[in-house]
Amino acid sequence: MFARLLAILLALCASAAAEDKVLRGDWTLACDGADCAISTRTPQEDTAFVARRAIPGSGLTFGFRLVSVTPDPGIALVLRVDSGPKLSFYPGRDMGLYGPMSDIFLIDPGLTRRILSAMRSGATLRVYAAQAGNTLSRDFSLKGFDEALARMAELQRRDPDDLAVEEPDAERRDGDARPPVDAGTGPRGLPASVVDRHYRESQCEDLESGNIASRPPLTARLSDFAALYALPCTKSSAGITWRLYVAETGEIGGVSTVHFARFDPRFGWTGSDYLWNLELDAAAGTITTTRHGRGEADCGYFARWSWRETAFALLEVRQRVQCNGGDDPSGWPVVYSSRS
C-alpha cells in the first residue's frame, strides 16, 4: 500500500500536476487526497523525498531513490548539510531498503529529525557512502525545501515544526542487514579505524583467535554523533577483558579509547583502559564491570558507569577486600557512590 502510494506521489511530483506554481525552489509537492510528498532530483535523476500519509498521528518518511548508482547495502551512508556535522546512518539500525524499488529510508528518529531540521535552513544536502571514496556522492539542492515542507504541513493541517519520523509501511528488502557492529570493512564488520586502533594500542588477542572468537563485539549508539564499540581482549579463568572505543562522526570525528577510573587499596585511584566481564545496557547507555576471585589487591571488584553527553560518568564502585562473604556484588562494601 505505501509503496504504491509513494510511486503515485513521486510520479505526480515529476509531472505538471505538482504544485510548482505555488512553490519557489527546487522541491516540488504533490498530494493524492491528503497523502503528500515533496521531492527534488539531481541531474543524474536521483531523487530525495519526504512523504507523510493523511492518517492522524503519522510521521514523516524520508528517503532516497538512487537510479544512477547502486550503493552497497552493507555500507553506511553519511549525510551532511552544507559544512555542518556529518551524520552516519548504518544499515540494519538507522536506515533500510524498502519496497519494490529498494528505496533507501532513514529510520532512526533522532538522527533523521536532526538532518531534517538542518535541511530547513541549508543550501545543499550531500549524501555519500562511508568507506567508498567517490563511488557514491550526490548533492541535493535544498532551495525551497522549507517552503515545500511548510506547504505540505498546511495542506495536511499539521504543525510545520512536527518532524516526527516513522518507518515506512512497506516490505523491507534488506532484512539480513547486519546492524552495527557495524557495517564496517574490518573483521566481523567492525569499522577498520576501530580495529586498527585496537591492535595498535593493545596487546590483545586476535579477534579471530580460538580464545575469544566466540565472543562477539558489543556496540551501542551513545548520541547522534557517537557510537560505542567494545572489543574482547583476553580470556582467562577470571573471565574476559574488554577494551572500549568511541567513534564520533561529527565535525571533528575520529576514534578514541575509553579510559576508566579504578580503585586500588594500595595506590588509591588509578586508571584502566580495559574492563573485566563487561555488561552493556545499550538502551540505557550504562556499562558494568564485575570480577570475582582473588586479584592483585582484592577478592572482587564491581563498578558501573553511565554515558552523559560526552563521557562515561562513574556511578558506583564496590570492592571485596577480604575473600569472604557472598559473591553477589550488591553486598560488597561501597568504595564510591555518585549519590553520596
Select from 319, 288, 326 the least CA-distant residue to 301. Answer: 319
pLDDT, residue 243, reads: 96
Confidence of residue 158 (pLDDT cuts 50, 70, 90): very high
Q: What is the pLDDT of residues 183-218, one digit of tens each?
A: 455 555 677 788 888 988 888 998 888 888 888 889
pLDDT-wise least confident of 38-42, 99-103, 224-228: 99-103
Q: How far apart are CA 280 and CA 284, in angstroms?
A: 9
In this structure, the number of other CB atoms found within 10 A of the CB of residue 9 comes to: 22
Give the 3-state DSSP-derived string for the chain, with helices as H, strands as E and coil as C. Answer: CHHHHHHHHHHHHCCCCCCHHHCCCCCEEEEECCEEEEEEECCCCCEEEEEECCCCCCCEEEEEECCCCCCCCCCCEEEEECCCCCEEECECCCEEEECCCCEEEECCHHHHHHHHHHHCCCCEEEEEECCCCCCCEEEEECCCHHHHHHHHHHHCCCCCCCCCECCCCCCECCCCCCCCCCCCCCHHHCCHHHHHHHHHHCCCCCCCCCCCCCCCCEEEECCCCEEEEEEEEEEECCEEEEEEEEEECCCCCEEEECCEEEEECCCEEEEECCEECCEEECCCCEEEEEEECCCCCCCEEEEEEEEECCEEEEEEEEECCCCCCCCCHHHCCEEEECCC
> What average pLDDT does this structure show over 86-95?
80
The top-scoring range by mean pLDDT among 64-73, 106-115, 175-184 is 106-115
Among the CATH numbers 2.60.40.1880, 3.40.50.2300, 3.30.428.10, 1.10.579.10, which is that of 2-155?
2.60.40.1880
Distance CA 124, CA 78 (A): 14
The pLDDT value given to residue 71: 74
- What percentage of residues in the chain have a pLDDT greater than 90? 40
Break the chain into its structural domains and give their ranges: 2-155, 187-337
Q: What is the pLDDT of residue 38?
A: 94
* C-alpha torsion angle, residues 256, 257, 262, 267 (rounded to 10): -100
Helix or strand or coil: residue 229?
Answer: strand
Average pLDDT of the chain to the nearest whole number: 83
- Does residue 182 have a pLDDT over 50? no
Q: How confident is the model at residue 220 (pLDDT cuts 50, 70, 90)?
A: confident
Share of the chain above pLDDT 70, in %: 83
pLDDT given for residue 183 in this prediction: 44
pLDDT digits (tens, 9 = 90+) for 311-330: 999 999 998 877 766 688 88
Q: Would you say residue 16 has pLDDT above 60?
A: no
Phi, psi (rounded to 5 degrees) for 226: -130, 140
Give the model confidence (pLDDT) of 107-116 as tens digits. 988 889 999 9
